[in-house]
């Protein structure tokens, strides 16, 4: 069984096979509030969570940013493609009699601990050859003994040149002399439609914030890719706010609709772009919405009415 070749056939650029990790200290740090609430689903002790597994497979899917005029973070179309590639690989491994399960593990910590990557001032992980623009799909696996050829553990290394560019451009001020503070990171508040006003005021694209990656010298070798016509059409704000989400969800994944997340972000971006022409669509959405989504829509409407 050639795991690297199977991963390549599925579309991944690299695959690392590691022992089953256990990070009790990571779990304790999370309990102390060191990490954003989105980490609640992650298992620090994979050995206990997946007692049947004998290996962790980390799959690397690089991506290119979209051009500055795009309204979408390039991460999300790539993330959706990598998810389906991971499912393809799982099917191939199942055909070889290998049990796998998508792993909820602290990937950042594992990459650094195993000497594969290093943490930057922005808290992003740098991988040689990929910069910080990559998606990791993680699988727990029960492999036959002859296939347990673990990736050699590397020595810790540094890559950040501490140029402070990420610190200067971070819209929330999350990167400071004391390190990274997730409480000031826009991305930490974008999991649903309920976003603090200070976050909404600073949002500049849908489903993410990549300004620290855009200015990082370690990413300068990665050229932006053009936004496809299908992407431009699917993510036009007027289309999203009219309720036609299906083309966009086909590109980024159906889970982005949950709780009105995509609609809320489209409303905020419309407000920040001064799109007063979209007020009728926003008002129509607000008339039928409820809860946090309605509050976000009303924020966007109020913001635009001041400009009208």
Report the pLDDT value the prediction gives residue 208, as an integer from 0 to 100.
85
Is 301 within the bounds of a domain?
Answer: yes
pLDDT at 308 over 70: no
Residue 1 has pLDDT above 80, yes or no: no
Asked if residue 101 and residue 18 are part of one domain, the reply reads yes
> What is the mean pLDDT of the segment spanning 55-76?
93
Does residue 73 have a pLDDT over 70? Answer: yes
Angle, alpha carbons 8-46-113 (nearest 5°)? 70
Check: CB of residue 106 under 8 Å from CB of residue 23. yes
Judge whether 21 lies within some domain: yes
Contacts of residue 242, Cβ cutoff 8 Å, sequence gap at least 6: 281
Backbone phi and psi for residue 63, each to the nearest 5 degrees, phi listed first: -145, 160
DSSP assignment string, 239-295: HHHTT--HHHHHHH-GGGGGGGHHHHHHHHHHHHTT-GGGHHHHHHHHHH--HHHHH
Q: Is residue 167 domain-resident?
A: no
- Asked whether residue 217 is domain-assigned, the answer is no
Q: Are residues 131 and 259 in the same domain?
A: no
Is 213 part of a structural domain of the chain? no
Let me know whether 57 and 93 are in one domain: yes
For 134, the domain range is: 3-147
**Token digits of residue 222:** 């990665």
Is residue 97 left, alpha or beta, with left meaning phi > 0 and alpha meaning psi from -120 to 50?
left
Question: Do the domain assignments include residue 38?
Answer: yes
In a domain, 195, yes or no: yes
Same domain (yes/no): 7, 49 = yes
User: Does residue 31 sit in the same domain as residue 140?
Assistant: yes
Q: Are residues 94 and 192 in the same domain?
A: no
Residue 133 has pLDDT above 70, yes or no: yes
Residue pLDDT, tens place only, 221-259: 999 999 999 999 999 999 999 999 999 999 999 989 988
Query: Within a domain: residue 181?
Result: yes
Is residue 41 predicted with pLDDT exceeding 90? no
What total number of domains does the chain contain?
2
Instruction: Report the C-alpha gap between 231 and 102 in whole angstroms.
Output: 28
């Amino acid at each position: 069984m050639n795991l690297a070749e199977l991963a390549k056939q599925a579309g991944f650029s690299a695959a690392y096979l590691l022992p089953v990790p256990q990070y009790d200290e990571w779990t304790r740090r999370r309990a102390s509030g060191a990490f954003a609430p989105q980490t609640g689903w992650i298992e620090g002790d994979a050995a206990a969570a997946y007692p049947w597994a004998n290996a962790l497979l980390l799959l690397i899917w690089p991506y290119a940013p979209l051009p500055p005029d795009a309204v979408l973070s390039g991460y999300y179309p790539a993330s959706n493609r990598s998810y389906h590639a991971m499912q393809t690989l799982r099917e191939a491994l199942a055909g070889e009699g290998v049990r796998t399960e998508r792993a909820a593990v602290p990937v950042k910590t594992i990459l650094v601990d195993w000497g594969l990557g290093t943490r930057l001032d922005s808290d992003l992980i740098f991988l040689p050859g990929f910069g910080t623009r990559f998606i990791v799909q993680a699988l727990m696996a029960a492999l036959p003994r002859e296939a347990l050829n673990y990736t050699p553990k590397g020595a810790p290394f540094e890559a950040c040149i501490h140029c402070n560019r990420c610190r200067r451009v971070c819209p929330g001020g999350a990167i400071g002399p004391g390190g990274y503070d997730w409480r000031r990171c826009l991305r930490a508040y974008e999991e649903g439609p309920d976003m603090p006003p200070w976050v909404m005021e600073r949002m500049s694209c849908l489903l993410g914030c990549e300004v620290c990656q855009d200015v990082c010298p370690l990413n300068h070798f990665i050229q932006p890719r053009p936004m496809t016509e299908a992407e431009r059409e699917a993510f036009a704000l007027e289309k999203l706010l009219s309720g036609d989400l299906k083309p966009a969800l086909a590109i980024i994944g159906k889970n982005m609709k949950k709780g009105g997340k995509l609609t809320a972000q489209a409303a905020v971006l419309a407000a920040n772009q001064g799109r007063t022409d979209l007020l009728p669509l926003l008002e129509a959405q607000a008339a039928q919405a409820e809860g946090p989504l309605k509050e976000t829509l009303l924020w966007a409407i109020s913001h635009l009415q001041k400009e009208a």
